Structure 1
Amino acid sequence: MKLLESTGQMSMLDPMVLNNTRKAQVETIFFNRVPKVGSQTLMELMRRLSIRNNFGFHQDQVQRVETVRLSPEDQAILAALVSSYDPPGVYIKHVCFTNVSKFGLPEPIYINLVRDPVERVISWYYYVRAPWYYVERKIAFPDIPLPDPKWLKKDFEQCVLSNDRECRYVTGEVREGIGDHRRQSMFFCGHHPECLPFNTEGALERAKNAVERNYAVVGVLEDLNTTLTVLENYVPRFFKEEISRYNPINKNIFKPIVSEEVKNIVRKNFTKEIEFYEFCKQRLHKQYLALKLPESIT
């Protein structure tokens, strides 16, 4: 971890200022989890902790068509659902940031995770092509047709190099509905139309503002131990115990290695996503350093 360069900078770090848990009006965690960032690992950890630390565990059911952007009416319904569970408890759902207090309901504790955006988009590409993914979908929804075998076998590198429609990441492009899983920042930006265009300054700033103002912790998959330490210290009601060595789960053995050359091609079109990721990573490190744990100040 890169530490702050001066003790003067370090002395300015205050856990109270950096912790939005203090703003919560109810002991309810709202984990609007981003796909393919290690959220399954954190969800399973919370499930286990719910027994040990005595809090309710609630997650959204598998959806036939998962919609992450909601109309104002559906946002109000979701906010009411989050608020309907007896505290302490957690509610978990793949959905864009939904400001519960906007609907006159108590402010929950927001948490989430992020991941290197290019690694994440590659992970998503192969996740939706993994055999077990369609087995699970068929069991849940038997009438769903299987995809074209040619699509299943399509390689990410070739997809990028051939300028395939699926692997073009064009600034300002809007993809409504399902299938637009290019951006993790969208899960923080929210439901506003400005969040729709890909890789734009407006969407980036909305996402940053939501993290800064609303989220207690936004963890980083590549820095999982730091993430868990921060969660344990900033949201202790739910994460109180030694969790900093919890092992990741849900690895996709069907995901091949993608060359750095191809990753660099994709990175050129992910500038705002990369900036958002670095912003979240820096914030997490500030929260960690503010704890002034022995290993963080030596």
Structure 2
Amino acid sequence: MRGGLARHTRGVDLMKNISNIPQPFLYTRHVHFLNFTRFRIEQPVYINIIRDPINRFLSNYFFRRFGDWRGEQNHLIRTPGMKDDERYLDINVCILENYPECSNPRVFYIIPYFCGQHPQCREPGIWALERAKQNVQENYLLVGILEELEDVLLLLERLLPHYFTGVLNIYKSPDYKKMGNMTGTVRKHTPTLEALQVLYHRMRYEYEFYNFIRDQFHLMKKKIGLKSVSQPPAHSPAFLRELALRTPEPLDEDEELDTDLEDANSWLVHS
């Protein structure tokens, strides 16, 4: 109970801090959805990007262990207490032998962020899934998918030109591409088909949400009349066999809500 009250207090403090920042500004951080209007505070414009759930999980699994190309010792800095038997744990063993890191609720990751602060949001199930969908429809200007990132950037440029004008040109610039190549996760590889099928079953709610977001995103592109520049992968019935691990890893996502709210005030970005 005390933990829930502390999270509530930090959440309210965060909302107040954000609402008092001189506009215009961008705020970027891993924080579970906060309903500002519940506390009579003006709701910000919510935007987000998600990625294929299995790709996200695998990328995070190897990133925690081996980091990326920005530094050979990057992984040791992020997970200094990880023992070698855990660091070099075979991903197939982790999945097939039900290690906590590779089973529910640890693989139930994307939905809780959109579901919000309710304790039930962390429990894999229909309730959290439906609440996450509802929040997206009622509170988010745009939720895109990383597999179609260029289209996401075009839509952001169209919907929020003050912040995103020219963003696609920046994304395609040599300097950005050079930086992007450095953030690829080291030693990332695809598990066996058997392990992927087990993981897919465990992440069925995550995939239902991902497919919902993908459909909503495609509908928005159609309504706005956006001509697609992305080339999304074709998810055939055998897509598990052909999973492509090609998207770069964002910032470390292995964070709990408590840490998110404690650190949130230091992640303000002004434009």
Query: What is the TM-score with the length of structure 1 in the denominator?
Result: 0.65
Counterparts in 2 of 1:4-83, with a 5 A limit? 71-83=7-19
Distance 1:270 1:244, change over 3 A: farther
Aligned length: 213
**Does structure 2 conserve the Cα–Cα contact (< 8 Å) formed by 1:232 and 1:239?**
yes
Identify the structure with bigger relative contact order (alpha carbons < 8 Å, sequence gap 6+): 2
Offset at residue 150 of structure 1 (A): 0.6
Q: How far apart in 1 are the matches of 2:189 and 2:6?
A: 34
Offset at residue 99 of structure 1 (A): 1.6
Kindly provide the CA deviation profile for residues 20-43 of structure 1, in whole angstroms up to 9, marking residues without a partner as x: xxxxxxxxxxxxxxxxxxxxxxxx
Partner residue, 2:218: 285
Q: How far apart in 1 are the matches of 2:188 and 2:227?
A: 38
Q: How far apart in 2 are the matches of 1:263 and 1:204?
A: 22
Pair 1:148-2:83 in alignment: yes
2:129 to 190, 195, 204: 204
Offset at residue 104 of structure 1 (A): 1.9
**Does structure 2 conserve the Cα–Cα contact (< 8 Å) formed by 1:229 and 1:244?**
no
Distance 1:242 1:89, change over 3 A: closer
Q: How far apart in 2 are the matches of 1:245 and 1:289?
A: 25
Offset at residue 295 of structure 1 (A): 5.8
Kindly provide the CA deviation profile for residues 221-262 of structure 1, in whole angstroms up to 9, marking residues without a partner as x: 111111111111122221122517825722102212323332
**Does structure 1 conserve the Cα–Cα contact (< 8 Å) formed by 2:107 and 2:203?**
no
Offset at residue 284 of structure 1 (A): 0.9
Offset at residue 277 of structure 1 (A): 0.3
Offset at residue 111 of structure 1 (A): 0.8
Q: How far apart in 2 are the matches of 1:137 and 1:271?
A: 29
Higher helix share: 2
Distance 1:243 1:70, change over 3 A: farther
**Does structure 2 conserve the Cα–Cα contact (< 8 Å) formed by 1:109 and 1:215?**
yes
Distance 1:148 1:189, change over 3 A: same
Could you tell me the percent identity over the aligned residues? 30
**Does structure 1 conserve the Cα–Cα contact (< 8 Å) formed by 2:157 and 2:165?**
yes
Q: How far apart in 1 are the matches of 2:207 and 2:25?
A: 32
> What letter matches 1:216 in structure 2?
L
Pair 1:268-2:201 in alignment: yes
Q: How far apart in 1 are the matches of 2:60 and 2:13?
A: 28
2:140 to 208, 215, 229: 215
**Does structure 2 conserve the Cα–Cα contact (< 8 Å) formed by 1:225 and 1:244?**
no
- Runs of 5+ in structure 2 lacking a partner? 68-72, 230-271
**Does structure 1 conserve the Cα–Cα contact (< 8 Å) formed by 2:151 and 2:228?**
no
**Does structure 2 conserve the Cα–Cα contact (< 8 Å) formed by 1:228 and 1:244?**
no
Distance 1:160 1:84, change over 3 A: same
Offset at residue 149 of structure 1 (A): 1.1
Offset at residue 96 of structure 1 (A): 0.4
> What letter matches 2:199 in structure 1?
V
Distance 1:147 1:194, change over 3 A: same
Distance 1:106 1:245, change over 3 A: same
| Stretch deviating more after TM superposition (235-244 or 79-88) | 235-244
| Stretch deviating more after TM superposition (235-244 or 220-229) | 235-244
> What letter matches 2:120 in structure 1?
E
**Does structure 1 conserve the Cα–Cα contact (< 8 Å) formed by 2:50 and 2:144?**
yes
